[in-house]
Amino acid sequence: MRYRIIIPLLFSTVLLLCGAGDQPKAPKNAAELGKLLFFDPILSGDRTLSCASCHKPDFAFADTLALSLGTDQQKTARNTPSAMNLKGHEPLFYDGRAQTLEIQALVPIENPVEMDLPIDSALARLNRHPQYAAYFKKVFRKPATKENLGAALAAFERTLSTSDTPFDRFMKGDSAALSESAKRGRIVFNEKGKCFDCHKGPDFTNDEFRNIGLFNDNDFSDRGRAEITKDSADLGKFRVPGLRNVAVTAPYMHNGMFKTLREVIDYYDTPQKFVKAPIGTDTLIVPLRLSEQEKLDLEAFMEALTDERFRKTR
């Protein structure tokens, strides 16, 4: 709880101080303004939550809870994904409800279960705030609006990219960057494990929506993409997440049901053991029959997708 409330409040307190030495440096551009806003609880109804309360920097801007806690300690509907490496990967959210990062950035602010602040109220706060009023006029040459608030937050999110991993160094020719286990795991990932069928490209996602067997309209009742499209063919489909820094973004799946990467691997290996009578499961979701060594190697490879900034603090 200390991280969720006290740190954002301290940041806001610093922002409000009048002494020149105590104020954060005035932002030079939209991304710097977005960073200030991302860490400031001014965008939540009761001023106790910031974007960073659930998108924790030390965990690749993901949360450590299965379901994040919003205003009044309410549990959110789905696990909080990483806010990193999202540039060029629209639509966003597990159900694809946001077509751009600008739209995505505003949704949690208004959500009554999350930050619980109508956008009009957020804009009024910002435009009454001495520093923020000046910052918006400096960066956007106008007061805070719905459009430039979303633009500032999105600009900051687009800076949250990572590419300094053992895997990246291996791909650039450093054969020693991956352990022998991770090298074998890369082969499992691409072939027997079928991971590459969905997790491909530089950020390990195909940006598609897939039903991986976590919907049975009973104890697993989240309809996923179908809530947005109203198409029964999309029942139980969720956006394929990128896998960069996946080793530090536990728990996993849209509902946060798995605490470790090994549990995720075990699920894909024998999905029928976890969910009874799944509906509409993708044809790729079949028992993999991985050996114990193959599971260890696959986990080692996914560990190697962790950026150095997070590997040093693990």
H helices of the chain, in order, are 7-16, 30-38, 51-54, 101-110, 119-128, 130-140, 146-157, 166-171, 180-190, 226-229, 261-269, 292-303, 308-311
Report the share of the chain in percent with pLDDT over 90: 90
Give pLDDT, residue 313: 55
pLDDT over threshold 50, residue 205: yes
Instruction: Name the CATH architecture for the domain at 166-311.
Output: Orthogonal Bundle (1.10)
The residue ranges of every structural domain in the chain are 2-157, 166-311
Confidence band, pLDDT 50/70/90 cuts, at residue 2: very low
Pair 171, 179: CB distance under 8 Å:
no
Question: Which tens digits make up the pLDDT trace of 60-70?
Answer: 999 999 999 99
Given this chain, do its domains 2-157 and 166-311 carry the same CATH topology? yes
Q: Could you give the C-alpha distances from 240 to 93, 204, 205, in angstroms and in order?
A: 10, 9, 6
Buried b (16+ CB within 10 A) or exposed e, 83-121: bbbbeebebbbbbbebeebbbbbbbbbbbeebbbbebee
User: In 10 A of CB 212, how many CB atoms?
Assistant: 21
Q: Name the fold adopted by 2-157.
A: Cytochrome Bc1 Complex; Chain D, domain 2 (1.10.760)
Please provide residue 265's backbone torsions phi and psi, each rounded to the nearest 5 degrees.
-65, -40
Give pLDDT, residue 294: 98
User: What span, in angstroms and rounded, lies between the C-alpha atoms of 157 and 159?
Assistant: 5
Confidence band, pLDDT 50/70/90 cuts, at residue 3: very low
Question: Which tens digits make up the pLDDT trace of 126-180?
Answer: 999 999 999 999 999 999 999 999 999 999 999 999 999 999 999 999 999 999 9
pLDDT over threshold 70, residue 10: no
240-267 average pLDDT score? 98
Pair of tokens at residue 76: 């959110």
Would you list the DSSP string of 249-312? Answer: S-SBSTT--B-SHHHHHHHHHSGGGTSSS-SS--TT-------HHHHHHHHHHHHTTS-HHHHT
